[in-house]
């Protein structure tokens, strides 16, 4: 004689409704934190990219024993590097080149200039690819005015008038939850990234220029 099959109990509508409600509440609680994390990641990525670009410009100047510049540029479309580029202290994109790249960022990297307008680009980065919520502020060393470029000589030192002294990188939304990073450039050419939220002078993330606007 066959034993009766055990009855399986399904999920009731009330149980399903309760489960969905709990999941909804959890998602509502987590979403703000996820949004902050994404925006902070965009800030960090932008700052890291600019730090790498400035270090590249300096290393390339030493390698070539010739002046190489790092320039902040704005683009008509922040995700596309083209001839619309213009030098801008608030540009989220950047170019490492031998000559002034303004209006000629469409050129591909080359050791020898193709023509008189070729800026001899070493590397470019369209900042909009990493996020559109990032605010950049290139400043003179004393913070008195904006600055869009810095040139390194064959010894890796900063040369020329009105070079970038530091670059502030933050989210367009202000608040304690958001990163506020700075890339500092010493006259000798060394570059470092620091966090303006850090107040302890013994912390390696501290910005010596923290009090400079």
pLDDT at 174: 79
Query: Is 208 within the bounds of a domain?
Result: no
Give residue 71's domain range.
15-195
**203 part of a folded domain:** no
Angstrom CA distances, 196 to 161, 186, 206, 210, stand at 26, 17, 7, 6
**Token pair recorded at residue 94:** 């950047």
Please report where in the chains the tokens 């003179």 appear, as a residue: 140
pLDDT of residue 170: 95
- Taking the CA atoms of residue 115, residue 120, residue 121 and residue 122 in that order, the dihedral angle to the nearest 10 degrees is 140
The beta-strand segments (E) located in the chain are: 68-74, 86-87, 93-97, 121-125, 134-139, 149-152, 158-159, 166-171, 180-185, 191-195
Q: What pLDDT shows up at residue 45? A: 95
What's the pLDDT at 176? 73
pLDDT at 130: 75
Tokens matching residue 133: 């919520």
**Mean pLDDT in runs of 10 for the chain (213 residues)?**
58 68 62 75 95 98 97 95 97 96 94 88 92 91 97 97 96 84 95 95 95 91
Query: Has residue 93 been placed in a domain?
Result: yes
Query: DSSP H helical segments within 65-166, as ranges?
Result: none
> For the chain, what is the domain count?
1
pLDDT at 129: 85
DSSP codes, 1-48? -PPPPPPPP---HHHHHHHHHHHHHHHHHHHHHHHHHHHHHHHHHHHH
pTM of the model: 0.84
CATH of the domain at 163: 3.55.40.10
Q: Is residue 205 part of a domain?
A: no
């Amino acid at each position: 004689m066959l034993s009766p099959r055990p009855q399986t109990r399904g999920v009731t509508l009330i149980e399903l409704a309760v489960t969905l409600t709990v999941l909804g509440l959890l998602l509502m609680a987590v979403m703000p934190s996820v949004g902050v994390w994404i925006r902070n990641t965009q800030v960090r990525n932008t700052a890291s990219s600019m730090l790498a670009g400035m270090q590249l410009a300096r290393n390339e100047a030493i390698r070539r024993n010739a002046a190489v510049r790092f320039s902040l540029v704005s683009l008509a479309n922040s995700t596309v590097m083209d001839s619309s580029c213009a030098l801008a202290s608030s540009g989220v994109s950047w170019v490492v080149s031998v000559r002034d790249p303004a209006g000629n960022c469409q050129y591909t990297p080359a050791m020898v200039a193709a023509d008189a307008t070729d800026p001899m680009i070493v590397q470019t980065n369209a900042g909009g690819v990493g996020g559109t919520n990032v605010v950049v502020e290139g400043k003179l060393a004393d913070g008195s005015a904006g600055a869009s470029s810095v040139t390194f000589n064959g010894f890796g030192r900063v040369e020329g008038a009105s070079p970038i002294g530091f670059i502030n990188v933050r989210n367009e939304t202000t608040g304690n939850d958001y990163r506020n990073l700075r890339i500092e450039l010493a006259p000798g050419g060394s570059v470092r990234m620091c966090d303006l939220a850090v107040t302890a002078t013994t912390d390696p993330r501290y910005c010596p220029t923290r009090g400079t606007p």
